[in-house]
């Protein structure tokens, strides 16, 4: 068995969808906020499992979402055991650039997730009228590795058990196979099913981190730190925080040690 490798992809709420980033707090703790569901979905009776399509109002968040978002369905992907009512570790992706990287992962490898998060005080009440969509984070005393205003942070991981990927000429993986592997994944609720890759992970090893691992420098969110520039496949130039990154076995070991230290 070869040493594990990793891919990291950008997910979660951002300033485009739904209009605000999730919070990172001064001590590096955080909240995972999914994006809204942007695609057409099947009726509930055609989901692989009998469950409702979750909304922002269903999420277990430490702040209030704006009233006009509470009934908005969310794209609960990735999903992690014990987070927002989920009990599996899965991820699906329809985009070729990310799917191609993820398709090369093998059992025991890691799929990491990062997000752009805004620095907020503990007790932040949320975006919009109640909390201020652009609430000033000035006056906070964040940990030395937390960027001012916003930054990019690793916040979760799935230890891969199995990957389904598209074959030559296919536009999506086989839906029946995906439903057998990851029946609660959000892409199986879409009409049509669109995932070019589906990942199922070890539910005991996968999940949210206790603390974020910064990919940005402490000086500016747009500047990549050495985890990106020295360890990943990405140059750290331009909008690097939107791109997938690959890590070889040695770099993955460094990341895992960094995650363990918190």
Structural domain span for residue 133: 6-260
pLDDT at 137: 53
Query: Taking residues 223-228, what's their average pLDDT?
Result: 98
Does residue 133 have a pLDDT over 90?
A: no
User: CB 177: neighbour CB atoms within 10 A?
Assistant: 11
Average pLDDT score over the chain: 94
The domain tally of the chain equals 1
pLDDT at position 140:
78
The pLDDT value given to residue 24:
98
What span, in angstroms and rounded, lies between the C-alpha atoms of 238 and 2?
33
Query: pLDDT at residue 5 above 80?
Result: yes
Residue 7 has which token pair?
A: 């891919």
Number of CB atoms found within 10 A of residue 68's CB: 10
What value does the mean pLDDT take over residues 65-93?
A: 97
Q: Is 153 inside a domain boundary?
A: yes
Residue 209 counted as domain residue: yes
Q: Is residue 1 part of a domain?
A: no
Q: What is the pLDDT of residues 146-166, one digit of tens each?
A: 999 999 999 999 999 999 999
pLDDT for res 131: 43
Nearest to 113 by CA among 27, 39, 206, 204: 206
Whether 113 is covered by a domain: the verdict is yes
> Are the C-beta atoms of 207 and 199 separated by less than 8 Å?
no
End-to-end CA distance of the chain: 28
What pLDDT sits at residue 118?
A: 97
CA–CA separation, 202 vs 212, rounded Å?
20
Question: What is the distance between the alpha carbons of residues 2 and 59, in angstroms, rounded to a whole number?
Answer: 38
Q: Tokens 């000429």: give the residue.
A: 169
Residue 71 in any domain: the answer is yes
Give pLDDT, residue 132. Answer: 44
**Burial state string for 129-156 with b = 16 or more CB within 10 A and e = fewer than 16:** eebeeebebeeeebeebbbeebbbbbbb
Residue 74: which of 87, 63, 88, 60 has the closest Cα? 60
């Amino acid at each position: 068995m070869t040493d594990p490798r990793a891919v990291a992809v950008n997910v979660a709420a951002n300033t485009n969808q739904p209009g605000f980033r999730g919070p990172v707090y001064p001590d590096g703790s955080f909240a995972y906020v999914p994006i809204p569901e942007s695609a057409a979905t099947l009726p509930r009776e055609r989901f692989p499992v009998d469950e409702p399509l979750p909304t922002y109002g269903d999420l277990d968040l430490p702040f209030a979402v704006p009233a006009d978002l509470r009934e908005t369905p969310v794209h609960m992907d990735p999903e992690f055991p014990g987070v927002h009512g989920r009990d599996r570790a899965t991820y699906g992706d329809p985009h070729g650039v990310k799917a191609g990287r993820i398709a090369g992962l093998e059992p025991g490898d890691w799929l990491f997730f990062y997000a752009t998060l805004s620095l907020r005080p503990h007790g932040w009440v949320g975006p919009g009228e109640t909390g201020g969509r652009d609430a000033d984070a000035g006056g906070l005393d964040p940990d030395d590795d937390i960027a001012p205003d916003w930054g990019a942070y690793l916040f979760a991981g799935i230890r891969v058990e199995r990957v389904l990927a598209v074959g030559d000429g296919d536009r999506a993986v086989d839906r029946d196979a995906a439903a057998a592997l990851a029946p609660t994944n959000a892409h199986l609720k879409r009409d049509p099913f669109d995932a070019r890759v589906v990942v199922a992970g070890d539910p005991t090893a996968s999940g949210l981190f206790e603390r974020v691992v910064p990919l940005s420098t402490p000086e500016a969110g747009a500047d990549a730190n050495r985890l990106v520039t020295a360890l990943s496949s990405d140059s750290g130039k331009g909008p690097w925080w939107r791109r997938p990154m690959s890590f070889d076995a040695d770099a993955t070991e460094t990341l895992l040690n960094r995650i363990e230290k918190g």
